[in-house]
Structure 1
Amino acid sequence: MELLPLLVLVFIVFAVFRAREQARRIALLGSVLGQYRIEQLMENLTEGYLRWVGEADPDRRTQIWGTLQDTEQALASQFGRFAADFAKVPAPLAQFGKLPFAIPWAQQLLPRDRLIDARRLFELHARAIQTLAVNADGLAPKDKAFTMTAELYLMQHSCHWFCRSRPVASARLLARHHSSYEQVLAAVSPSTRRAYEALVR
């Protein structure tokens, strides 16, 4: 019976330190992201794609697509600058665990191959968004819109994973966008998927 109070105490201490570390990560990411309009641009872009797909008038579709291309370029530029700023964060603050649950002091407790470097992850997303914005692969407009949406959802998942945990990030993805982590990963470009899996698996 004496073991139960000890286990409860250990759990409480673990939860407190985990919450503190997550709050620190949220504050760190927010301090860098707060300089940019990335979330607003992402929302404008994904909603704009839906308007474009649903527009029946060809002239209006062309007009909407031109606006979307401008938004893509703005988002690619801003996320690239964000990734460059976040790359200045020291390694101990930027690394988090690959485990399916968040633990405090992951950088100190886990071996290097069980850590993810958020700086590399955000650089990957910046390259993917930029590649699609300039349409380097020559995708058809509908394919480009579909792939860009998946790339943005995966980037958002990475932000939430860094701040909380992979299950929380996946649950938010499903709740907000009605897409599973697996669906989004399957929908990004093959080059993104290979590079991403090399970092997180």
Structure 2
Amino acid sequence: MQTMDFVLILLAIVVTWRLLCLRYQRTHIALLGRHLASLQLERHMETLTQGYTRAIHEKDEARQLQVLDTFAPTERAVATQIQSLADAMQQENTQATRMGVLPFCVPHIEQFLPASTRDFRTLLHIHAAGLRRVVDNKDCWTPKDRAYHLSAELYLFQHSCHWFCKSRAVADARLMLRHQVQHQKALEAVSAETRAAYLRWLQNGDAQ
């Protein structure tokens, strides 16, 4: 009987914890969704990631460059819209934009363990600056290399959004499921400036 009581209590704790996580995650999803509603980021990102894959598989180099060149307007739109998202999210209060660095979701961690959280607003500005740098080709990459690095910037940005909405572990899993890319590989493939700023944010909080 005591064993059965223990199992029931444990089950109740697990169910309660899960419900708290879902409710907490819904607030983050709603917050980000409200700012994304007026943008077309998801559609633009899908166009670029699928288009880059198609271009890279072109055997003729001239044709490859031609295909890559057609994405210039979409690239500029993505960079502009991510900057708009970062600016809009800056108006939200700090408590609403904190995200836990632990692999799993801990509801309201920003209230009782703030040292284990980071500010999503700062991360968005890192992504916005990184996308703009690659779109403007500040590092003078070849079109193919530029597409490779820009894809990584987009993957990392998408990972951050999933992390904010769900958890770090879920973001890792979704990145692998959707793009067959590990988080570490995406981080290694972004520009050196994005990677350095991202690691400072992760290690030191809100440092950019």
Bucket of the pairwise TM-score, normalised by the shorter protein: over 0.9
Could you give the per-residue CA deviations for residues 64-85 of structure 1, whole angstroms, max 9, x where no partner exists? 2322122111111111111111
**2-structure distance, mates of 1:17, 1:185:** 31
How much has 1:187 moved relative to structure 2? 1.1
The TM-score, its normalising length taken from structure 2, stands at 0.90
Q: Give the structure 2 partner of residue 188 of structure 1.
A: 190
Q: Give the structure 2 partner of residue 136 of structure 1.
A: 138
How much has 1:6 moved relative to structure 2? 3.2
**1-structure distance, mates of 2:144, 2:64:** 12
Mapped pair 1:155 → 2:157: yes
Could you give the per-residue CA deviations for residues 2-30 of structure 1, whole angstroms, max 9, x where no partner exists? 54433333322221111101011111111
C-alpha RMSD of the superposition: 1.6
Could you give the per-residue CA deviations for residues 113-158 of structure 1, whole angstroms, max 9, x where no partner exists? 3111110011110110011111111111111111110110010000
**1-structure distance, mates of 2:153, 2:128:** 10
Fraction of identical pairs, as percent = 38
* Superposition pairs of residues 29-68 of structure 1, within 5 angstroms: 29-57=32-60, 60-68=63-71
Mapped pair 1:167 → 2:184: no
Q: Give the structure 2 partner of residue 23 of structure 1.
A: 26
Superposition misfits of 4+ residues, deviation over 6 angstroms: none
Counting matched residue pairs gives 200
What one-letter code is carried by the residue in structure 2 that aligns with 1:200? L
Q: Give the structure 2 partner of residue 92 of structure 1.
A: 95
What one-letter code is carried by the residue in structure 2 that aligns with 1:192? T
Q: Give the structure 1 partner of residue 104 of structure 2.
A: 101
- Contact 2:123-2:201 within 8 A present in 1 as well: yes
How much has 1:48 moved relative to structure 2? 1.7
Q: Give the structure 1 partner of residue 117 of structure 2.
A: 115
Change (3 A) 1:58 1:139: closer
How much has 1:31 moved relative to structure 2? 0.9
What one-letter code is carried by the residue in structure 2 that aligns with 1:117? D
**2-structure distance, mates of 1:56, 1:164:** 40
- Contact 2:65-2:143 within 8 A present in 1 as well: no
**2-structure distance, mates of 1:58, 1:168:** 37
What one-letter code is carried by the residue in structure 2 that aligns with 1:109? F
Provide the secondary structure at the position in 1 that maps to 2:71: helix
**2-structure distance, mates of 1:36, 1:155:** 15
Change (3 A) 1:58 1:9: closer
What one-letter code is carried by the residue in structure 2 that aligns with 1:95? R
Unaligned runs of 5+ residues in structure 1 are none
Moved more, 180-189 or 129-138: 180-189
What one-letter code is carried by the residue in structure 2 that aligns with 1:55? E
Unaligned runs of 5+ residues in structure 2 are 204-208
How much has 1:49 moved relative to structure 2? 1.4
Q: Give the structure 1 partner of residue 200 of structure 2.
A: 198
The TM-score, its normalising length taken from structure 1, stands at 0.93
**2-structure distance, mates of 1:83, 1:168:** 22
